């Protein structure tokens, strides 16, 4: 009977060791799964961001550092796991420092590139030049409504450029609309008691090419001087 008990205990200890080994192995697998899931999410998010900008025709250039080397490691790991799933816990290279950390670094770099590309695109579309003219016009009460509208459109465009939008194509369309409204506000700039030549000069100065020096007539200059607005304008040589 004592021998039977000893044999039964040995069997239980053997079963316990097997179960403990299986549990430890399962824990290791779960750790690896969590590790890979986080990296896969980062890579997928970065790839999606690049794809969305390119689909919207927003210029963005990105090439992952050592992409070929990382792809080779992924293939090596896949082959090892297919042959023996336990290989995931004893990979042929340092899984963290040589693979997952580097993949995460590539994903982070791609997201930064995407963000900078979008910001650069919006900055090009919203190149309004110096704020001096607008600030000067804000001091003339007849222009208050138009200036407020212009500033509101500029602020909304700037807000769109802060982060990469979920739908860059829709954001581009919205920027087109805001720019049209911005330009319309400049075109509508007028006041019954302000000379037509002054209005024309201000509109031209705010345009991309600026106003020709010949438009700065004596009447326009005198009007600007009286309102202390002359210093808001600059002569630009091409």
Q: Both tokens of residue 147?
A: 């200036």
Residue 196: is its pLDDT beyond 60? yes
Residue 28: is its pLDDT beyond 90? no
* Through-space distance between the first and last CA atoms of the chain, rounded to whole angstroms: 108
Say which range, 14-18, 55-59, 231-235, has the weakest mean pLDDT. 14-18
Residue 2: is its pLDDT beyond 60? no
Please, which pLDDT band fits residue 17 given cuts at 50, 70 and 90? very low
Residue 146: is its pLDDT beyond 60? yes
User: Which residues have C-beta within 8 Å of that of residue 87, sequence separation ≥ 6?
Assistant: 77, 80, 81
- Mean of the pLDDT values across residues 4-21? 40
Q: Would you say the C-alpha torsion 135, 136, 142, 143 has a positive or negative sign? A: negative
Cα atoms found within 13 Å of the Cα of residue 121, Cβ hemisphere only = 26
Residue 4: is its pLDDT beyond 50? no
CA-closest candidate to residue 187, choices 162, 172, 208, 207? 207
Per-residue pLDDT reduced to its tens digit, 112-139 = 999 999 999 999 998 876 677 788 777 7
pLDDT at 12: 42
Q: Both tokens of residue 216?
A: 């700065």
Task: Decide if 186 contacts 203 (C-beta within 8 A).
Answer: yes
Rounded to whole angstroms, the Cα distance separating 137 from 99 reads 58
- Mean of the pLDDT values across residues 140-161? 89
Buried b (16+ CB within 10 A) or exposed e, 78-101: eebeeeeeeebeebeeebeeebbe
């Amino acid at each position: 009977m004592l021998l039977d008990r000893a044999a039964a205990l040995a069997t239980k200890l053997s079963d316990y060791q097997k179960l403990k080994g299986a549990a430890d192995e399962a824990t290791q697998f779960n750790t690896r799964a969590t590790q890979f899931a986080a990296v896969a999410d980062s890579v997928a998010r970065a790839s999606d961001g690049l794809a969305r900008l390119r689909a919207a025709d927003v210029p963005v250039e990105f090439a992952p550092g050592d992409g070929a080397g990382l792809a080779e490691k992924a293939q090596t790991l896949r082959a090892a796991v297919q042959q023996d799933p336990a290989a995931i816990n004893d990979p042929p290279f340092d899984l963290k420092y040589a693979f997952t950390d580097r993949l995460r670094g590539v994903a982070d770099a791609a997201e930064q590139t995407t963000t900078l590309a979008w910001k650069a695109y919006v900055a090009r579309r919203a190149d309004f030049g110096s704020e001096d003219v607008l600030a000067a016009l804000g001091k003339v009460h007849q222009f208050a409504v138009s200036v407020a509208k212009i500033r509101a459109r500029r602020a909304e465009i700037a807000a769109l450029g802060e982060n990469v939008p979920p739908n860059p194509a829709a954001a581009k369309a919205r920027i087109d609309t805001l720019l049209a409204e911005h330009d319309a506000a400049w075109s509508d700039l007028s006041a019954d008691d302000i000379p037509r030549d002054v209005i024309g000069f201000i509109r031209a100065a705010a345009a991309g090419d600026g106003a020709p020096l010949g438009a700065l007539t004596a009447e326009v200059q005198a009007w600007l001087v009286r309102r202390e607005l002359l210093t808001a304008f600059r002569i630009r040589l091409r």
